[in-house]
Structure 1
Amino acid sequence: MMKPSKISVVFLYSSFAIVIIHFLILSIIFNKIPETVPTHYSGSNPDAFGPKNTLWLEPIISAIILLLISFYIYKLKTPNSLDSYLENSEEEAIKNRQLLLSVLELVVILIISAISFIFLLEAR
């Protein structure tokens, strides 16, 4: 098990911050949101509606994704063989995979949060 590089940790902390901000914003404006909110859009108009509690699914799913990928990043092991990889050392191979996963994690969290914030703006 190898510690992630500093840049990977920055991406991980950024992802954690976004998820926490997502929870905080939803908590602050939750009482101002109508009881029924759009849950699906077809073109520019909503075509499905649900209770406002469904808005909690996005930050919860983000948090689960964040925890699963973070756990995997910290438990990443050395590949069995470096023959088929571009890296020169085992340490470099692990660091590259940790960086890739932490960037991927941040991108996924940003996409989910952006979609959720669009729904929140439409619901108000």
Structure 2
Amino acid sequence: MNVFLWIVAALLAVAFAAAGSMKLTKSKADLAGQGMGWVEDFSPGVIKLIGALEVLAAVGLVVPPLVGVVPVLAPLAALGLVLLMVGALITHARRKETPMVVVNLVLAALAIVVVVGRFGPEQFTA
């Protein structure tokens, strides 16, 4: 189970590091041009904040337990991703972007697996 949770956390970290980095480095117009129409509903500052939260969560999923410093941050980062995905799900549902709702549900479910696993049976021990 521990290996499975590491794999899920690593996959989430890669996905959110990439998505967050894109939101941090590209303009609102560039993101909209790449099919992210939802950015029209948000200010550039909020888009950058979402990107920063995604990158921080990606780091929090793997770095603290990897270096053995405050490993409880990993499930907390996963919980943060669940909350981000709930917000994303609501945004995409309002815009009737069904494929993105499904993506948000899958990512939220994977993050919930990490939260439950790391707060439950496979906690990191000191």
TM-score by length of 1: 0.45
Larger strand share, 1 or 2: 1
Larger helix share, 1 or 2: 2
Which structure would you say has the larger RCO, counting Cα contacts within 8 Å and 6 or more residues apart? 1
Larger radius of gyration: 1
TM-score by length of 2: 0.44
